[in-house]
Amino acid sequence: MQLSPLALVLVGLLLSAWSVGAAWIALGARSRERQARSARANVRRLTRMIDTAPALPLLVRSDGRIEGPERLASWLGLDRLPEYLPEFGRHATGLNPADVDSLAEQVRRTQKSAASFSLVLQARGGTLRSLSVQGQLADPAVAPEGTALLWWFDVSDSDAELVAARRQAAEASADFAALVGLVEHAPLPMWVRGGDGALRFVNQPYADAVGAPDAGTAIERGLELVEPVDGMNARASAARAAEKGAPLSRRVQATIAGDRRALKVTDLPIGTTGNVAGYALDVEDRELLARELAAFQSSQRALLDHLPLGVAQFSAARRVDFINEPFARVFGLDVAAVQDSLPLDRVLDRMRDAGRLPEMRDFPAFRRELAGWFQAGEPMRADWAVKGGMHLKVLGLPLPDGGLVLVAEDRSEQLAVLAARDTLLRVRTAMVDNLFEAVAVVAPDGRLQLWNRRFGLLWDLPEDLLPAGIGPDPSAPRFDSVLQAIADRLARPAQVAAIADVVRAATLDRRMRAGQVLLADGRTLAFAGIPLPDGNGLLTAIDVTGQKLREDVLRERADLVEQADRAVQVETGPVMSGARETIELLPFVTGGVRAQEQAIVARGLKLDLRGDRSAGEVQADPQQLADALAILLARAITDCRDGGRIQVTLAGSRKPERIVLAHDGVPLSPGVMEEALGSAPARSEAGRALSRARLLVEAQDGQLRLRSDGVRGTIASIVLP
């Protein structure tokens, strides 16, 4: 089929239009593709920007549904972002339920009123983040109407810094409050001045000192504590301290509570603020003590000048402060040493030049040793032998303030006396050792002080009991040990008590007594105890075994018996009853015991007085009854051994024996007891004394009873009507 030319033209135009349309469509599609790629790139950039931004958005729709990046979930410690806002508080991580409720309430307000809000929330769980939430109504172009847009910021670092800053501010505030409280309650006036010198702060002691009712009044009135001195007032002093930039102290007088007091005032610049702080110390009491100390030292040194001992005092700086006249005389020093306050080394040099120090090879070591006395914890002692035969005893007394007191005593005369005494002792030794009698000197404490060789030979004592020589010797035995050895040599060992009595009478009673004993080998020894002027007792012994000597002794004993009988007749004759009085036994016997207290204490005896007011009263001559009691107590003290016991018992009128005296010492021998009770002539001293006591008791219509088992102690009873 053939087409007309017109048709062909139309077909060509149609094909051209089609081609143009296809080309236009292809070009439009390519442009849209480029736009899509650009949009996707923009979305990726925006998404990346949101992912790396310091703030994260969160959309909260009106139905509570939320939209946001998953990064927010990681901030909150969640595995994924929940669908609804309340789910933030339903996990172990996330937000606290209370914070979620507060956030939800703020979101509802924003959705309804379009009001913005700001919150700081604390994530819980392992993240411990501080999150700041800024909320506002979302733009309708961003989200549907009624949607809230929340921007979340991680403020953990800034919040920690803020917390630290708040804590530091709180601590600083507390420190400042404590400092203000300390200053306010300080016991001394304190104040602060501004740059113009005016008072800005004073404490209550300042207000009290200036007579103001409170600190505010003192500041308002400008009351000054310190009066102007030499034209300088308190403000000028503070200005000078601020100008120097250093504390400035001065001593002034001020009137406080009506009294003039000495004050030490200090102005102290406070940094670069221009303010000046000040405080005032009351030094009145300290200055008074300083004056009293100076007066005491002056009187003390005046006293030391009159002592016979040399005294020198050195300060903690080891310089001489004081030397008394004896010290200066002994060591050849003069007053200039004190006036110049010479150090210890110089003083020692002068003492050495004067020849008053011991000879030594290492003088520097001696000075160092003496300097060490300053730090010694106890008194130091030394003996110095000086030229010319002088012997000095030096005592170093460290002082609490670090000083030292040296005390020097010249012992030259004492040593000379000791040397003369030693010579006399050697002479005495030679004399005693050549005596015909056996002698021993016993001290009151029972220790042997002196003996000769004949003493051990006469009593046949073991050689190891008494050291060779005649004593005194630190290793010498006590006389008790010697008595035990003598008892083994006696025919009647019990007779050793007579020897002990003789020694006790010589040492303690200061009386001379004598006696004889028969040894187991048949020898008869006569012994005697003689009190010595130095308080010791001398025991002498001699062998009287020879027949002629025995006859002489018997003749002397007969004379002594006759003399004793006459003495008994004189001493123990009939006692006339005196004027009787009513005597209360307890105070009467107590007074009699106290009269013997010195002798009891000297022997170390224990006395037990048993009785009370129920002992009642008796009718007797007070003097005669007191004499009888004194005789019985003296006898008990004599018979008791050192450390023994005496018991005095008082009984009431229902018992005949009103006063009972017992001891645990040496018992009365049967012979003495017979003499005391009048059954035999009173020849011994004990018999005469006890017989006298019996007569005194009988003069009161009473009776003296004596009991003893012959082994230990004696009981004496006074029976009174």
Q: DSSP states of 95-138 as a string?
A: E-HHHHHHHHHHHHHHHHH---EEEEEEEETT---EEEEEEEEP
- 131 and 123 Cβ atoms separated by less than 8 Å: yes
- 125 and 93 Cβ atoms separated by less than 8 Å: yes
Local confidence band at 24 (pLDDT 50, 70, 90 cut-offs): confident
pLDDT in tens, 287-299: 777 777 777 767 7
Higher pLDDT, 94 or 147: 147
State mean pLDDT over 454-467: 81
Query: Full-prediction pTM beyond 0.75?
Result: no
> Within 10 Å of residue 701's Cβ, how many Cβ atoms?
13
pLDDT of residue 632: 92
pLDDT in tens, 656-697: 878 999 998 888 888 888 888 887 888 888 888 898 999 999
Chain-centroid distance of CA 326 in Å reads 37
The neighbouring-strand residues paired with 517 are 525
Look up tokens 């003399």; give the residue: 563
Q: Where are the alpha helices (DSSP H) in 513-621?
A: 547-571, 585-595, 597-603
pLDDT of residue 669: 86
Give the CA radius of gyration of the chain: 59
Report helix, strand or coil for 483. helix
Write phi, then psi, for 522 (nearest 5 degrees).
95, -10
Local confidence band at 185 (pLDDT 50, 70, 90 cut-offs): confident
pLDDT of residue 564: 46
The Cα–Cα gap between 179 and 190 comes to 12
Q: Where are the alpha helices (DSSP H) in 114-214?
A: 156-184, 204-209
Look up tokens 């001290």; give the residue: 443
pLDDT in tens, 45-91: 555 555 556 678 888 888 888 888 877 777 777 878 888 888 887 77
The Cα–Cα gap between 498 and 505 comes to 10
Residues 6+ apart with CB under 8 A from 309: 326, 407, 408, 409
pLDDT of residue 568: 45
pLDDT in tens, 259-273: 777 888 888 888 777
> Which H or E run includes 67?
strand 66-67
Mean pLDDT is lowest, of 167-181, 366-380, 661-675, for: 167-181
The Cα–Cα gap between 267 and 365 comes to 50
* 412 pLDDT above the threshold of 80: no
Higher pLDDT, 407 or 173: 407
**pLDDT > 90: percent of the chain:** 3
State mean pLDDT over 8-18: 66
The Cα–Cα gap between 499 and 501 comes to 5
The neighbouring-strand residues paired with 538 are 441, 530
pLDDT of residue 108: 87
- Strands, E, within 557-672: which ranges? 581-584, 606-610, 617-620, 645-650, 657-663
pLDDT of residue 331: 81
pLDDT of residue 575: 61
Report helix, strand or coil for 708. coil
The neighbouring-strand residues paired with 718 are 659, 704
- 665 and 639 Cβ atoms separated by less than 8 Å: yes
Give me the numbers of helices (H) and strands (E) for the chain, helices first please: 22, 28
Mean pLDDT of all residues in the chain?
Answer: 79
Judge if the upstream peptide bond of residue 472 is cis by omega within 30 degrees of 0: yes
The Cα–Cα gap between 694 and 701 comes to 11
Local confidence band at 9 (pLDDT 50, 70, 90 cut-offs): low
One-letter-per-residue 3-state SS of 246-257: CCEEEEEEEEEC
Local confidence band at 211 (pLDDT 50, 70, 90 cut-offs): confident
Higher pLDDT, 245 or 571: 245
Local confidence band at 26 (pLDDT 50, 70, 90 cut-offs): low
The Cα–Cα gap between 380 and 210 comes to 55
Closest CA to 634 of 596, 673, 688, 592: 596
* 597 pLDDT above the threshold of 80: yes
- C-alpha distances (whole Å) from 282 to each of 70, 265, 287, 324 are 74, 9, 10, 36
Max mean pLDDT range (44-53, 249-258, 340-349, 499-508): 499-508
* 483 pLDDT above the threshold of 50: yes
pLDDT of residue 566: 47
Torsion angle (degrees, nearest 10) of CA 664, 666, 671, 674: -20
